[in-house]
Amino acid sequence: MKSQFRLDIENGLKNSPKTLPSKYFYDAIGDALFVKIMHLPEYYLTRAEFEIFNTKSKNIISKLEINKDQPFDLIELGAGDGKKTKAFLKVLLDEDYNFKYLPIDISQNALDDLEQSIHKEFLKLNIETIQGNYFGVLNDIKTNTTPKVIMFLGSNLGNLQDHEAQDFLIKLSNALQVGDKVIMGLDTIKPKDVVLPAYNDSQGVTKAFNLNLLNRINNELEADFEIENFDHSPEYNEETGIAKSYLVSKEDQEVTFNGDNIIFKFQKGEKILTEISRKYNDEILNSFLNNTKLKQISKISDSKNYFNSYILERV
């Protein structure tokens, strides 16, 4: 039987225009490249969101309206290295809130590293890691009535197509009880000269990140992509607020998937869409929340208004 990875990749390449799902960027090499991206001078997103948690965590906490005597679960979807969250956890602990931290990630490796560093830095913190995908975990937490704060940071929602993001928000809303809160980190719509370099950095790290998907396909699906025959080509539309990353074929070429003898043809200049990174404003977010029981109750921004932490409440 074909793996889900193989099915998704082959189906994407059968599409016209061709697509590849960005969720497959994150093998061990992709994870390491993404950590590098987060430190790039052009990749403003991580710095802007970190600034919010580093300087305005108290403000965020006040908007969550949590009673200090009431235990709650702080659930983080896609925890990564937790740098931004740690700034937030520190303030919660300093102020004696009664909570358990539940980071969820698809990568057990990332969770193990996070748990270790959390134990070192925050002796008192009650942490329980959960390995899995968001949708599965959202289903599991439905029956748990402990008050919850869900963190979904890093503009990760932006990597979903609009209909997928709306679907995700409906599922998130359905998994929560009245009064539960969400902290949603979203990149703002802003001029091209700021956004585009974030996806086309001068050191070529984002290019390597995009091309690594072909490496992964070669390694795991016995394909024979000639990596140097493809280029990284990002675009950004200021009107829609959507950045798209493409791989562009530098010549007419064929790629064989030796595992099952499928051949894909690429024309010179043909583009494969590998990622969308949507940026949000209040209007777009609110229109997506329309079909849910989540309501925006506050928005906290960094000093340049590059990034927003939205506080949503399940009503």
Residues at the interface with ligand AVI (CB under 6 A) = 37, 45, 154-156, 158-159, 199, 206, 209, 275, 277
Closest distance to ligand AVI from the beta carbon of 35 (Å): 11
Contact assessment for residue 253 and residue 225, using Cβ atoms and an 8 Å cutoff: no
Distance (Å, whole) CA 232 – CA 5? 22
Measured from the CB atom, is 257 or 280 closer to ligand AVI? 280
* Residue whose pair of structure tokens reads 């200049």 in the numeric block: 269
Q: Tokens representing 231?
A: 């280029």
Name the closest residue to ligand AVI (Cβ): 277
Distance (Å, whole) CA 130 – CA 82? 14
Q: Tokens representing 314?
A: 């399940």
Closest distance to ligand AVI from the beta carbon of 278 (Å): 9
User: In which element (H, E) is residue 134 found?
Assistant: helix 134-141
What's the one-letter identity of residue 9? I
Measured from the CB atom, is 91 or 160 closer to ligand AVI? 160
DSSP letter string, 145-190: -S-EEEEE-TTGGGGS-HHHHHHHHHHHHHHS-TT-EEEEEEEBP-
Closest distance to ligand AVI from the beta carbon of 100 (Å): 26
Closest distance to ligand AVI from the beta carbon of 228 (Å): 20
Measured from the CB atom, is 147 or 234 closer to ligand AVI? 234
Burial class (CB in 10 A: 0-12, 13-18, 19+), 220: middle
Closest distance to ligand AVI from the beta carbon of 244 (Å): 10
Measured from the CB atom, is 10 or 49 closer to ligand AVI? 49
* Pairing status of strand 253-257 against strand 262-266: antiparallel
Closest distance to ligand AVI from the beta carbon of 32 (Å): 13
Measured from the CB atom, is 45 or 214 closer to ligand AVI? 45
Give the number of other Cβ atoms within 10 Å of residue 124's Cβ.
6
What's the one-letter identity of residue 243? A
Q: Which of 13, 125, 7 is nearest to 76 (CA)?
A: 125
Measured from the CB atom, is 10 or 201 closer to ligand AVI? 201
Q: Which long-range contacts (CB under 8 A, 24 or more apart) does 65-68 make?
A: 65/181, 66/97, 66/147, 66/149, 68/95, 68/96, 68/97, 68/98
Measured from the CB atom, is 72 or 307 closer to ligand AVI? 307
Closest distance to ligand AVI from the beta carbon of 249 (Å): 20
Closest distance to ligand AVI from the beta carbon of 16 (Å): 24
Measured from the CB atom, is 33 or 175 closer to ligand AVI? 33
